[in-house]
Structures are given as structure tokens and as C-alpha cells.
Structure 1
Amino acid sequence: MQPVDILMLKAMHPGVMSAVEARFTLHRLDLAPDPEAFFQEIGPRIRGLATGAQAPVDRALIARLPTLEIVASLGVGYDTIDTGAARERGIVVTHTPDVLTDEVADLALGLLLATVRQIPQADRYLRAGHWPRQTYPLTPTLRGRTVGILGLGRIGRAIATRLEGFGVAIAYHGRRRQPGVAYDYHPTLLGLAEAVNVLLVVAPGGPETTGLVDAAVLEALGPQGLVVNVARGSIIDEAALIQALQAGTILGAGLDVFAREPHVPPELIAMEHVVLLPHVGSASVHTRAAMGKLVVDNLTAWFDGRGPLTPVPETPWTTRP
């Protein structure tokens, strides 16, 4: 069988790279001294592409790979891939759902608790030697709060299940009411924000959700409101969030994602009532290994003629072209 050429735009999990190299012929764009010469020589041979959210796959890149058949993405979100351009060419796009659900849900709960109980701030207070002179100030609490979830998909449901154990009221907003779900449903995000004082953002990224959490939504949360985002930075109007935090329109925020990663606005970094993480929602050794295996399994299944394992809805697969 003729070796299959696979392109990797940037370095990925070592397990992914070694597994791809063992099964296919791997090419690394990030190691190419002359990218233009690379595309001219190697581009026409590339049949598969392995990537992650930090390496966008746009229409121009797809056009440079005339024999591309599959884009295997590491992550549940795939808003950095032009699925429309892929669909036009008959290219299937896959992602890695389910294997990261529990990890991200765990992190979301941890980030919520860290934000409301000021865990990182208390840690810094102790390390700075302040405790012998004065006890740490009392913090806000999760008690008596109502948590609103924006996006009750796989991860949103897993977060809600965990929240039930904390005895808080739960509500949600999405494109439609979900059958068999007992949580209060709000047909508008503004309505959800008015009914809750914690907003957990778990919706998919992309043009439909860009700036969805705006100044009006933040104001509706109220002065005791908290925002926790483990989805995509683009979903929150970052400038409006900064203004709301500076003005005391809301109480605080816990953010694992940002609009221009890895660049974080200095205004956010300067605030003590904000907890910031470097997009580590699924970043455990166990879960990243499982995600990487699914990337490789999708490539292997495709080129073995079995079809993709986890194609995205925008590029449905019926028969191999």
C-alpha cells in the first residue's frame, strides 16, 4: 500500500506525533525552513491533516492541499476550521468529543470554586506572609446562588450533574429546550442572566456565538454576578467584560479562554477579583492522551476505508469518495 502523507501544522502531543509517524508519512509545516517551497513540493501529496485549535485551517490553506481528504482535529471545538470550505471539497472534519467531557467539567467546577472563594488570592496572601498579621478577609459564597449554563451540550450536562451535588439551583439557555431536562430553560440569554447570578459559558465558538455575552448580559447578572468561561474567548465581549469588572457591574470572573490567545489583556491580569488560567480545560496527561488517540484513530479508520469515527455535523459522511 502506498504510504499516506499527513500534514501537521504545529507540534502536537508527543503520543499523537509518534503514532502518526508509525502509521503514516508525517510532514511538519512548523519545521519547514521555506513554507512556500514546502507547499509546492509536499502540498499536492497531503491526504490527511492533523491539527488543534491553535493552528487554524482556513479556506486558503485547504486550497493549497488539492488531494486533502480528512482534517482530524484535537479538541471538541472546531471553530478554527473552515468547515464550509471543507464540505465544498468533500473533505471530512473530525473532532474529539466525549473523551474530554469529564475533564473540562471538573475544571469548570474548580474554576467556579476558585473564583467565588478566592482560592488563588488566598494562596498568594499566605505566601506573601500576611496571615500572621491579619486573617484573610471573608469571601463570597456559592450558597444560595443560581447557576446559569450557556450551552447544555455534553460538557454543560456534565457540569450540571456536578452542580447538583452542591445544592444550587440550575438553569440553562441554548438554541432550544432540551427534552427530559428538568432545569429551568430560558429562551433568551438575557432572560437567563436576569434569573441567575453565576453564568457558566460552555457554548461552542464561531460566528453565531461571537460576542454573545455582551454588556447587557453582564449587567443583568448584577453586582454579585460571576462569569466562568471554559468554552471560547470569542463568546464574551472581552472589552465589555473588562469594563463590567472594573466598574463593579459584576463581582468577578474565572476565565480559562481568551479572545486572542495566548495574549491576555493586561487589564484582566491586573485585577485581583479575576482568576485566569492558560486554556487548560482538558490539559491533563490522561485526557490529552485519549484525545490524541482519537485523532490518530480517525485518521487510521479513514485510510483503512472504514470511514471517520467522530465527524462533525457540518461535514457528514455517508460513503467514502
Structure 2
Amino acid sequence: MSRPAVLIAQSHLHPLGGFLEGSYDVYRLWEGPPSEAASQIGALIVDGAYPLDKGLVESLSGLGLIACFTAGHDGIDVEWCQARGLAVTHAPAVNHEDVADHALGLILAARREIPRGDRELRAGHWTPDFRILTQSLRNQRVGIVGMGSIGQALAPRCEALRMTVSWWGPRPKPELQWPRVDSLLDLAKDSDILVVACKADDSNRGLISQAVIEALGPQGLLVNVARGQLIDEAAMIAALQSGRLGQAALDVFEVEPTDPERWAGVPNTVLTPHTAGATREAVQGMLALLLGNLTAHFSGEPLKTPLTV
């Protein structure tokens, strides 16, 4: 009896092959279109941050499952998949605590100018007369855009460092202890630090507009651990260069990997390469869910973490 076949879509997911080859025939899209095996492939393994190749999906006549390795799935048109009888799974509630840790780290790195201190020391600029005066986190007003699992994990971390928290999202959540502001623009005006932690889709592209950026202002810090397309990146860079925005600390970008030349000469920034949720423990959790969903799918059992709309 032949083994089930799976196709890994993105090359950065290549380490998954070693965990799958004991149970599945594994194909890798970057090695070439699996034309001869197109009818045998039963599951497509993807990173949900990347747009789903619908042409590829339609070419795989035996496909039954889109298995998203990540928690985020903004690149996947779930309704389109379901209309074609395709199940979709993802990896929820695995790395939100780690993303919240990273967001707090970005706040600390930016406000306390930790990267600058490291550079100055290594350059030999630390003399008895040298000092970097930074801003205390005490009483800083943190506005969180999107109070989902990441936002709810970040809020108490900020409070532990003596900051105050408010938030905005499209739907009220009266069960939460933190006050919801009436609008995103009001949240930006009332915040010293604005953290973007909401889900991304086509409806909220450019949500953090030039108006929101300028409402945050020349003393404000903009932090993004969600998706790059949520921010008008060109407007943010222009505001940083002109001083209309104080600081930005970013883990995600409009185009990834981002071109380092885009950030040359952009002041007051802390940049990390989309690593907020990439801890060893989180990846192990994602892998366990992926394997569980694949086993369930090919065994005809209920999926572990199906996506519904």
C-alpha cells in the first residue's frame, strides 16, 4: 500500500521534511512542480503568512488539506478553500506568549536605547564622561491595536513594568479589564507607545495610516509584531525621517525579507527579522499540531485545529 503524499510549499519550511519522511512521501515545491505526483498529493503544507497559490492548489487533483504550519493564516483564503472541499488547519495558541515577550523586548530596546548602548560600547565610545539618557517606562501609556491572544498576553507584562494599558479593536470585549478606546485615531492620540498586535487581512491593509502615525507623534513609539502590511510603511519611514514620529520597533515588514537599504539612514528604529514567535518551544508546538492534523486527515478522523469561517 502506498504512503500518503504531502507537498511542502515554501523552502524555509524545509526542516519539516525530516519529521515527515518516516510516514509520508514528501515533495518540495522549490525542487520543481510535482507534475507526476499531482494526483497523489493529499496535503499541502504552507506558511500562512504567504499568499496561497490557487493555481497550484487547483492542479493537485487529490488534495484534501491545506495544513498551515503557523498560527497566522492571512495568506489563505479559507472561504475559497472550503468552497472547493478543502479543509484548512493551523497552529493556534502556541506562540502568542513568545510574541508578547518579543513585543515587550522591542519596547525596552527602543525606549532604553539598548542597541545604541551596545554599539557605542563596542566602538570604544564609553568614557567616564559618556552617558546615554533614556526614557523611563514608568507611566508610559501603551495602546494595543487588537486585543486577541497576543494583546492579552502583552497587557499584564506592560503593567508589571508600571505602564498603563488601553486598547482598540473593531469589536468590544466587555469581559476584559483594560479600557477600550472609541477609535484607533483616539488610541494613537492617547498613547506614548502603540503596539500593533491584530490579525491582518485584506480589510485592514494600511490600518496604521499616516494620520494614525502622526497622531502618535514625535515622542511616540510604534511597535509592530503582527503583519507588515498593517502599517503604511512609506508613511512611517517618512515620519521617522522628519521627526513626526519618534521611534519604531518592528519585527514584520511590508515585503519580507525587507531590503536593508530601505532602512539605511532611517533614525530611531529597532528592527528584527520576523522572529517574535520563533522560539524552539513554539516551533515544537507547531510541529506537534501539524503532525496531529496530518494523521487525523489521512485517517479520516476529526482534525485537531481546523479553521472555520
Asked whether the 8 Å contact 2:49–2:74 carries over to 1, the reply is no
1:127–1:221 Cα change, 3 Å = same
* In the alignment, structure 1 residue 157 sits paired with structure 2 residue 186: no
Contact 1:9 1:51 (8 Å CA) reproduced: yes
CA distance in 2: counterparts of 1:252 and 1:180, whole angstroms:
32
What is residue 166 of structure 1 aligned with on the other side? 161
Alignment map for 1:240-255 (pairs within 5 Å): 240-255=235-250
SS at match of 1:120: helix
The structural deviation recorded for 1:212 is 0.2
The aligned residue for residue 91 of structure 1 is 86
The offset of 1:18, in angstroms, is: 2.2
Match of 2:290 among 291, 295, 306: 295
The structural deviation recorded for 1:12 is 4.9
The residue identity in structure 2 corresponding to 1:227 is: L
Give the match for residue 30 of structure 1: 30
Q: For 1:18, give the aligned amino acid.
A: G
Q: Cα deviations across residues 209-250 of structure 1 (Å, max 9, x unaligned)? A: 210001100111122110000110000000110011111112
Q: Secondary structure at the match of 1:22?
A: coil
Residue ranges of structure 1 left out of the alignment (5+ in a row): 315-321
Q: 2-side partners of 1:261 and 1:220: how far apart? A: 27
CA offsets per residue over residues 167-209 of structure 1, 9 Å max, x none?
2110111111113112110232112111112110011122112
Question: Secondary structure of 2:94's match?
Answer: coil
Shift of 1:117: 0.8
Aligned-pair distance for 1:88? 1.3
2:161 matched to 1:182? no
> 2:301 and 2:197 mapped to 1: Cα distance?
32
Q: Give, in angstroms, the shift of residue 288 of structure 1.
A: 1.3
Contact 1:9/1:55, CA 8 A, preserved across alignment: no
CA distance in structure 1 between the partners assigned to 2:57 and 2:182 by the alignment = 37
Shift of the 249–49 alpha-carbon distance from structure 1 to 2, 3 Å rule, reads same
Q: What's 1:138 paired with?
A: 133
Change (3 A) 1:186 1:313: farther
Aligned partner of residue 199 in structure 1, secondary structure:
strand
1:282, distance to aligned residue in structure 2 (A): 1.4
Q: Please, which runs of 5 or more residues in structure 2 have no aligned partner?
A: none
Q: Give the counterpart letter for 1:31 in structure 2.
A: E
Task: Please point out which of 58, 63, 68 is paired with 1:68.
Answer: 63
What's the counterpart of residue 7 of structure 2?
7
Q: Distance in 2 between matches of 1:233 and 1:55?
A: 12
Native 8 Å contact 2:167 2:181 kept in 1: yes
The total of aligned residue pairs comes to 309
**Residue deviations 1:267-312 (CA, integer Å, cap 9, x gap):** 4243341000000011122221221221121111222222211122
Q: Is the 8 A contact 1:50 1:72 kept in 2?
A: yes
Tell me whether 1:16 sits opposite 2:16 in the alignment: yes
Aligned to 1:319: none
Q: Which stretch shifts more, 235-244 or 184-193?
A: 184-193
* Superposition deviation, residue 54 in structure 1: 5.9
2:38 aligns to what SS in structure 1? helix
- The structure whose RCO (Cα within 8 Å, separation 6+) is larger is 1
Q: Return closer, same or farther for 1:27/1:144 CA change in 2, 3 Å cut-off.
A: same
Moved over 3 A (4+): 11-15, 53-56
Task: Measure, in 1, the Cα distance between the counterparts of 2:129 and 2:299.
Answer: 66
Q: CA deviation at 1:87?
A: 1.5
How big is each residue's C-alpha offset from its partner over 1:97-149, in whole Å with a ceiling of 9 and x where there is no partner?
11111111111111111011111111011101100264232122322211010
Q: Output the CA distance in 1 between the equivalents of 2:125 and 2:81.
A: 56
Distance 1:268 1:12 in 2: 24
Equivalent residue for 1:51, pick from 46, 50, 54: 46
Amino acid at match of 1:4: P
Is residue 110–residue 249 contact of structure 2 (8 Å, CA) maintained in 1?
yes
Counterpart-to-counterpart distance in 1, 2:203 and 2:129: 48
Identical amino acids, percent of aligned pairs = 39
Give yes or no for contact 1:59–1:82 (8 Å, CA) kept in 2: no
**SS, match of residue 289 in structure 1:** helix
For the residue of structure 2 that corresponds to 1:49, the secondary structure is: strand
**Structure 1 pair 136–306 and aligned structure 2 pair: CA distance change class (3 A):** farther
Letter of the 1:25 counterpart: D
Q: Specify the code of the residue in structure 1 equivalent to 2:16.
A: V
Q: Which moved more, 1:85-94 or 1:234-243?
A: 85-94
The 5-angstrom pairing of residues 272-311 of structure 1 reads 272-311=267-306
Equivalent-residue separation in structure 1 for 2:269 and 2:88 (angstroms): 36
Q: 2:256 — aligned with what?
A: 261
Aligned counterpart in structure 1 of residue 265 of structure 2, from 262, 270, 276: 270
Instruction: Kindly state the Cα deviation for residue 13 of structure 1 after the two structures are TM-superposed.
Output: 5.2
Contact 1:125/1:136, CA 8 A, preserved across alignment: no
| Separation (CA, whole Å) in 1 of partners of 2:86 and 2:261 | 40
Following the alignment from structure 2 to structure 1, what is the Cα–Cα distance between the partners of residues 12 and 256? Answer: 17
